[in-house]
Amino acid sequence: MKKFYFVFIFGLVLGFGVPGAVELRAQEAKPPGAMSAAPQADAKTGQAYSGMYTFLKEGEFVQVTVEDTGHVTGFVSRFGDGGSDKGAFLDQFFKSGKLEGNKLSFTTDIVHGVAFDFKGTVERGEGKNPGDEAYFVLKGTLTENVSDVNKKVTSHPREVEFKMFPQDAAPAPVRK
């Protein structure tokens, strides 16, 4: 009798005595290469969206940094179009920025009479893995606000899609 209890208990522990226990144990195992929940958690907080994205012209980019609270900081680096800054590289920092879910908006400071407003979404792009080119894309409306010498503002909205740069293409951090 003692031996029977031992075999019975041993069988329960291994799952032989409970119908469906073997199937449950098989479902719990993760297949090799299964993704962890960490990237999804980052996407939910928005930090995974942080990075460098293409901008309007070749060589221009927008840097987006999402903080824990959904506050967004960053800047646009672009070539000047005006008479005095034609071809010069200009940095326009975000005056304000916000991420709610996947809805992104930001407004840049005015530099040489030009400011930008973006309202759109962060979406999954063509990139297959995190760190790939276009893993995320910014889609929405970019409004270019141009002030003339009389302070008259002309707005030029356009639909845009900015692709995330591959992670290895991002510039190396500056060490002090």
Measured between alpha carbons, how far is 101 from 119 in angstroms, rounded to an integer? 13
Pair 18, 66 in one domain = no
Quick one: average pLDDT of 149-162? Answer: 95
Pair 90, 153 in one domain = yes
User: Starting from the edge strand earliest in sequence, which strands make up the sheet with 114-124, in order?
Assistant: 51-54, 61-66, 72-79, 89-100, 103-108, 114-124, 136-147, 153-163
Residue 19's domain comprises 1-26
Residue 105 has pLDDT above 60, yes or no: yes
Closest CA to 105 of 69, 143, 149: 143
Residue 55 has pLDDT above 70, yes or no: yes
Residue 152 belongs to some domain of the structure: yes
CATH of the domain at 163: 2.40.128.30
Largest Cα–Cα distance of the chain, in whole Å? 101
> Total domain count for the chain?
2
Cβ–Cβ < 8 Å for 139, 123: yes
Quick one: average pLDDT of 77-86? Answer: 85
Pair 63, 105 in one domain = yes
Quick one: average pLDDT of 125-150? Answer: 94
Confidence of residue 170 (pLDDT cuts 50, 70, 90): low
- Predicted confidence at residue 87, as pLDDT, reads 79
Residue 176 has pLDDT above 60, yes or no: no
